Amino acid sequence: MTLHNGKLLALCVVTVIVLFGLQFVLPPYLTLALTRILILSVFAMGYNMLMGYTGLLSLGHAMFFAAGLYAAGLSTYYWGVTLPVAFVLGIVGAFAVSLVIGLLALRTQAVSFMIVTLMFAQAGYLMTLQFTNITGGDQGLTLPTDARSFGLFGMVVDMTSDTARFNLALLIFTVVLAVLFAITQGPLGRLFVAVRENEPRTQMLGFDTYAIKLTAFTVSGTISGTAGALYGLMFGYIGSSFAGFQNSIEALLYTLIGGPGTLLGPLLGTAVMTMLIDRLSGITTAYLIVIGVLLIVVNLWFPKGILGTIRDRWLGWLK
């Protein structure tokens, strides 16, 4: 197998090494913030798979994030399964949900697709409220103490330790990055892009575009759910606000800012937005206004995002 796009691979490796090194220089709060950024950027990377590479704009990815979060969190909360098993269950749950929703939603296109994903996600959010006696609804559930650590290969990993959390998040991030590199830089990724650029032509060339889109949709939803499962287990709290509209919009925004259709864009976008919101929340209560302003500004003058613009101008391999 030949290696495509060695420059991008090198950049990814350097990024991971730098991220690893950051924990030794950053103050504790920023390490914690970076942990959260890594997990949320996995979410955004999943979103980018669909929106950036395949050109399908979903407004309901919180549904997949929440599917992973609840499948993982509830199974450890009620059945007491160990965290690694719960994590796998979370991924399986997100896979199942994204496959079913994908089968339905992909019958529609463009604006209808956006509304359908929005409505399914809204129904999912409302269900977390409807079944409060299971999900804890608005209040959510806090995972019990024995679900805050796990043993693996004789090692005990403590979820309340900042170092353990950071490195675990980085590990999952790296794995997802590697998987996405393989997908996007390989033949499957070219098919995704072909659908984005010209679906009828791809169809005419003999490809089953519905199947291609369904693959992209399921991969995208499963990765988003992986982020959800990780988030829930790592921070020990699951609640319905993760399933809300705003969470879907944040994934969209992270991707738009960083650069849709670039591998590292979501990481950059998530980092910029998370820190911006965290800083602003100390200054004004209306900090969500920045989301609104950026959505409009980026859409108007900056539709390729940060890395997308750099790619178009200077570094063509940055995709």
Instruction: For the segment 216-245, give every residue that binds other proteins (CB under 8 A).
Output: 235-237, 239, 241-242
Least spacing, CB of residue 290 vs other proteins, in Å: 8
Count the neighbouring beta carbons within 10 Å of the beta carbon of residue 273. 22
Measured from the CB atom, the residue of 23 and 309 that comes closer to other proteins is 309
Measured from the CB atom, the residue of 153 and 301 that comes closer to other proteins is 301
Which of 81, 157, 188, 275 binds other proteins (CB under 8 A)? It is: 275
Q: Which span sits near other proteins by CB under 8 A: 3-11, 16-24, 120-128, 197-205?
A: 120-128
Do you know the residue count of the chain? 319
Least spacing, CB of residue 43 vs other proteins, in Å: 14
Q: Site residues for other proteins, window 168-227 (CB under 8 A)? A: none
Q: In this structure, what DSSP letter does residue 10 have?
A: H
Which of 22, 134, 309, 315 binds other proteins (CB under 8 A)? It is: 309
Which of 116, 180, 183, 227 binds other proteins (CB under 8 A)? It is: 116
58 near 47, Cβ under 8 Å? yes
Least spacing, CB of residue 45 vs other proteins, in Å: 19
Q: How many residues bind other proteins (CB under 8 A)?
A: 71
* Integer angstrom CA distances of residue 227 from 87, 251, 257, 275: 10, 11, 19, 19
How many Å apart are CA 7 and CA 262, to the nearest integer?
13
Query: On the CB side of 298, how many CA atoms lie within 13 Å of its CA?
Result: 23
- Compose the 248-267 pattern: x for residues touching other proteins by CB under 8 A, - for all others: -x--x---x-----------
9 three-state secondary structure = helix
203 three-state secondary structure = helix
Strand partners, 141: 238
Q: Site residues for other proteins, window 127-156 (CB under 8 A)? A: 127, 129-130, 132, 137-140, 142, 148
Instruction: Please name the amino acid found at residue 3.
Output: L
Using DSSP bridges, classify how beta strands 237-238 and 149-152 pair: parallel, antiparallel or unpaired.
unpaired
Q: Which secondary structure element, helix H or strand E, spans residue 290, and what is its range?
A: helix 289-301
258 near 265, Cβ under 8 Å? yes
Q: Site residues for other proteins, window 32-91 (CB under 8 A)? A: 32, 36, 57, 59
- Compose the 91-110 pattern: x for residues touching other proteins by CB under 8 A, - for all others: -------------xx-xx-x
Q: Which span sits near other proteins by CB under 8 A: 80-88, 92-100, 203-211, 295-303?
A: 295-303
* Integer angstrom CA distances of residue 200 from 192, 193, 217, 306: 13, 13, 19, 30
102 three-state secondary structure = helix
Q: Which span sits near other proteins by CB under 8 A: 9-17, 83-91, 116-124, 200-208?
A: 116-124
Instruction: Please name the amino acid found at residue 244.
Output: G
Least spacing, CB of residue 2 vs other proteins, in Å: 34
- Compose the 3-42 pattern: x for residues touching other proteins by CB under 8 A, - for all others: ------------------------xxxx-x---x------
Measured from the CB atom, the residue of 179 and 295 that comes closer to other proteins is 295
* Integer angstrom CA distances of residue 286 from 62, 141, 243, 271: 22, 28, 21, 20
Measured from the CB atom, the residue of 92 and 136 that comes closer to other proteins is 136
